[in-house]
Amino acid sequence: MRVLVTGGAGFIGSHLVDRFLQAGFSVRVLDSLDRKTHPNGRPAYLSPSVEFLHGSVTDRRLLRKALEDVDVVSHQAAYQDYMPDFSKFMHVNGVGTALLYELIVQDRLPVKKVIVASSQAVYGEGQYECLKHGLFLPRPRSHEQLARGEWEVQCPRCGNQAAPLLLSEEHTNPFNQYAVSKLSEEKTALGLGWLHGIPTVALRYSITQGARQSLYNHYSGVCRIFFSRALRALPLIIYEDGRQTRDFVHVQDVVDANMLVLENDEANFQAFNVGSGKRTTVLEYAEAVLARIGSEVDLQVSGEYRRGDNRHSVSSIGNLRQIGWKPYRDLSAIMDDFLEWIESVGGVPEEVTDAYGKMRRAGVVLTSSC
């Protein structure tokens, strides 16, 4: 069996490559080696036994070459950032996925299954319940509300603070450019897969963390940001009031989910959440990082906020549990594995970019009046 892993040099993709090799697959990788994530080119952790193609999933000729004699496609390639490159999100994530199916259908390629990496971002601001008016899907909190330092989501009908619900698969509501592109990607994949008889599964990853997360990419998340700053004795900058909640999942649990749906036909033509199902505040996360490395740097609750961030995002994982998956690794395992990896590569590199400063200059990070 030959598998194509798009984005296979990346964080999640490379762990999938390792698992496919362990399972006896012949592995081909297609990766653009974006310099914002891979400034030094092909990473050392990518197995030398893979067949490697360097380029973009939007390159028609290259993608067709990558699909030759492939049984399974693990489509992990994606453009991710906080910067306002609006068109690039849709071009890479949406158009690249459409091209994948176009080539499979056009050339009648015998692909047996496609697994697409989607994102918890497709839920937008989330799913909430008002005691008076019930379930609603909110618009993103307005700039005016956030500028006043009013962080919680309010019912649009009565103005009362509403309670966040665990995110269930049936209610999507994306607003920012990345979220819209990922919903476009999974809708394209599931729809074309169904119409043309190509078994397809979309997996909506929560915030995935662990070894090999890029130390350079702005989008690589709070684990990279907090550890990088704490290890350099810099204060940890907390947006809003730090009480926003997130759902963190270990990369190996994500790999387990991918391998499960590969073998399970019950998963075909569905989208599943892959997360921990547990709420963790940003403040709790920051405090755990400092405790893990024994640092006494300051926690700086800045009152700033990031344009497009949602207040609470924790996924329901009941549907994937029903077909045999569950997360085994907790937040402490995430931190242990990430810190061990940083140490294995010689610590935080000197040339890590100032993502915070760059986002402020681009108008992505703004300041409230509180």
pLDDT value for 135 = 97
d(CA 190, CA 198): 9
Mean pLDDT estimate for the chain: 93
Question: Residue 236 region, left (φ>0) first, then alpha (ψ -120 to 50), else beta?
Answer: beta
Residue 307 has pLDDT above 60, yes or no: yes
CATH code of the domain covering residue 353: 3.40.50.720
pLDDT band at 365 (very low <50, low <70, confident <90, very high): confident
Size of the chain in residues: 370
18-42 per-position pLDDT tens digit: 999 999 999 999 999 988 888 889 9
pLDDT value for 239 = 94
207-232 per-position pLDDT tens digit: 999 999 888 765 557 888 899 889 98
Residue 232's domain spans which residues? Answer: 2-367
97-127 per-position pLDDT tens digit: 999 999 999 999 999 999 999 999 999 999 9
Residue 355 has pLDDT above 80, yes or no: no
d(CA 207, CA 72): 25
pLDDT value for 354 = 60
Least-confidence region, from 137-141, 228-232, 255-259, 326-330: 228-232
58-85 per-position pLDDT tens digit: 999 999 999 999 999 999 999 887 667 8
pLDDT value for 346 = 87
129-184 per-position pLDDT tens digit: 999 999 999 999 999 999 999 999 999 999 999 999 999 999 999 998 999 999 99
pTM of the shown model: 0.95
Domain count for the chain, please give it.
1
